[in-house]
Amino acid sequence: MPQESSHRVVVIVDENSNPFELGCATEIFGLRRPELGRDLYDFRLCAAGPATGMRDGFFTLTGVAGLDAADTADTLIVPNRPDVATPRNPAVLAAIRRAHDRGARLVGCCSGAFTLAEAGVLDGRRATAHWQWAEEFRARFPSVRLEPDVLFVDDGDILTSAGSAAALDLGLHLVRRDHGAEIANSVSRRLVFAAHRDGGQRQFVERPVPELRDESLAPLLAWAQQHLDTALTVTGLAARANVSPATLHRRFQAQLGTTPLAWLTGERVTLACRLIELGEPRLDVVARRTGLGTAANLRAVMRRETGLSPSDYRRRFGPNGAQLNPLNG
């Protein structure tokens, strides 16, 4: 029987909530994880009333906990609904404020940023929302530092994501933050979803990318992931793809919403995290196998990208009994 987690994730479901983001939260935080030998989270749904109508009357949700369950949350996911101009339930807003006051982590997906802002917890904070509501959000909540053209924003104890699939990106980011890269990769494999898309990537591509087979980055990315221990450069990647560096940059921006160098760095850090989690104690070996060069550079890049030094990362996510070389950690 999988071990239960002590970290409780509670989702508040309100009238006219979007089913998709609710499904994402359930899939990531609520499913049992027998393949991991333990459950990652204790998951609950709650609502202000005994029956809650979902978006456009798709279905009615019943049989969930009352709103007092929000008072037990370590992570509270707030309601998101497409009718952003409709005032939120005062009882829901009060529950969000109580959670914030006691230090719970708050998460809003898509229009969930409107709920958080209406609760008064986003003043002076960074946040994002679906791009189509950016202007309305700015007009209503000018004290919030909206970043409308990113997948998600991690502002410490308050996290927000853009619409639809970005909820999966943010959910996997939270799993990675809580449990490390290897566990997050396992969850993403079960989802058949990209293991890591950086929050700073763009929400959408302004011009459709022609579906030409020879313009797909997939073969190049797969090759690069197998050669991270070599001295990969943007110029070298462009040469392998038989394009100029400028063309490669355009394709990365169009297809991934990021730059070749940022993608390479992200892949190398992810590999470094996995090696540390799997018990490699020698930072010089980790640096060499990930193409980050030296232990000093590994420390600097990991701290910049994850907020943790290799030693701190190992203490949080490494296997029991493994220790980093004290000369390198």
Residue-wise pLDDT tens digits, 146-170 = 998 888 999 999 999 987 788 998 9
Q: What is the pLDDT of residue 288?
A: 94
Q: How far apart are CA 118 and CA 127, in angstroms?
A: 13
Contact of 167 with 156, CB cutoff 8 Å: no
The answer as to whether 202 is a domain residue is no
The answer as to whether 227 is a domain residue is yes
For residue 186, what are the contacts with CB-CB under 8 A and spacing of at least 6?
Answer: 33, 35, 36
The answer as to whether 310 is a domain residue is yes
Does residue 148 sit in the same domain as residue 63? yes
Domain at 275, CATH number: 1.10.10.60
Mean pLDDT in residue range 309-325: 74
* Structure tokens belonging to residue 95: 């529950």
Q: How many CB atoms lie within 10 A of CB 23?
A: 13
Does residue 184 sit in the same domain as residue 134? yes
Number of domains in the chain: 2
Q: How far apart are CA 310 and CA 314, in angstroms?
A: 6
pLDDT digits (tens, 9 = 90+) for 223-258: 999 999 999 999 999 999 999 999 999 999 888 888
Mean pLDDT in residue range 138-150: 93
What is the SS3 assignment for 44?
Answer: strand
pLDDT over 50 (residue 124): yes
pLDDT over 80 (residue 201): no
The answer as to whether 130 is a domain residue is yes
Domain at 152, CATH number: 3.40.50.880
The answer as to whether 206 is a domain residue is no
Torsion of CA 273, 265, 262, 301, to 10 degrees: 80
Q: Is 93 left (phi over 0), alpha (psi -120 to 50) or beta?
A: alpha
Ordered DSSP codes for 39-60: -S-EEEEEESSSEEE-GGGS-E
Does residue 141 sit in the same domain as residue 46? yes
Does residue 247 sit in the same domain as residue 326? yes
Band of pLDDT at residue 34, cut at 50, 70 and 90? confident
Q: How far apart are CA 197 and CA 256, in angstroms?
A: 8
Q: Which domain holds residue 276?
A: 213-329
Q: What is the pLDDT of residue 211?
A: 40
Does residue 118 sit in the same domain as residue 220? no
Does residue 155 sit in the same domain as residue 217? no
Contact of 2 with 37, CB cutoff 8 Å: yes
Average pLDDT, the chain: 87
Q: What is the pLDDT of residue 258?
A: 87
* Structure tokens belonging to residue 204: 């959408």
Does residue 59 sit in the same domain as residue 167? yes
Does residue 183 sit in the same domain as residue 273? no
pTM, rounded to two decimals = 0.73
Q: What is the pLDDT of residue 194?
A: 59
The answer as to whether 68 is a domain residue is yes
**Which residues pair with residue 154 across a beta bridge?**
159
Band of pLDDT at residue 207, cut at 50, 70 and 90? very low
What is the SS3 assignment for 279?
Answer: coil
Does residue 158 sit in the same domain as residue 273? no
Tally of residues, the chain: 329
Instruction: Using a pLDDT cut of 90, give the percent of the chain over it.
Output: 65
Band of pLDDT at residue 122, cut at 50, 70 and 90? very high
Does residue 293 sit in the same domain as residue 178? no
Which secondary-structure segment (H or E) carries 236? Answer: helix 234-240
The answer as to whether 86 is a domain residue is yes
Mean pLDDT in residue range 193-214: 46
